[in-house]
Every structure is written in structure tokens, then in C-alpha cells.
Amino acid sequence: MKTLKQDHYTYRVTWSEEDSQYVGLCAEFPSMSWLAGSPEKALQGIRSVVAEAVADMETSGEPVPEALASKRFSGKFMVRVPPEVHRQLTLEAVEAHISLNRLASAKLAH
């Protein structure tokens, strides 16, 4: 089994009813998966597939995805909403004596 020295990628194991097996997934490599009879084997399998993909990418000079755990986030992103939702949220923020940004942040945190 191939492994990465610094494997900080985001893995998840879930059950596939369709396949009647566990599926190993990696958020940074969404097109890859590994089926296995146990959660442990599914995790081992997907980690091995990712390690092989990273090695191939490095060999060919392709950019390797950055691990989400290592990525710096600004805390800013834009969300588009219908104008009537924008109006409703603005009214709610004004009535609560807070900024629209603070209201949206509080709603997203729940």
C-alpha cells in the first residue's frame, strides 16, 4: 500500500447501499473512491489511491491539490440571494440593530 508522508487530506468513509460495501472518499479528490468490506479497508484503499495520484501528479508536474486542513480561509465569500430575500434579511438586521453581515453570519452558523 502506498502512503503519503504528510497526508493531511480530508477522508470520509460511508456505507453504499447500492454496492453493499463501504466507500472511502477524499474531499480534495472528488472523482476518486474505494469500495471495501470494512470501513478500515475503505479508508486504507482511498488513502492508497490518493497517494498514487499525488505521486503521478508530482512526476508529471501537475499541481497537487492543497489539503483543506492546510488551506487558509479569508472568512469572506459571496452569496447570491433573490432580491426579496435580501430585502427581508436587511429589514430583520435593521430591526435587530445589527449589520446584515452579522445577521447572515449568525444564520449560517446554525
Q: Where are the domains of the chain?
A: 1-72, 73-110
Mean of pLDDT values over 27-50: 97
Top pLDDT among 25 and 110 is at 25
pLDDT at position 4 is 82
> Which CATH fold topology does 1-72 show?
Double Stranded RNA Binding Domain (3.30.160)
pLDDT at 110 over 90: no
* 87: its cell numbers: 430585502
Q: What is the mean pLDDT of residues 17-46?
A: 98
Question: What is the distance between the alpha carbons of residues 19 and 76, in angstroms, rounded to a whole number?
Answer: 39
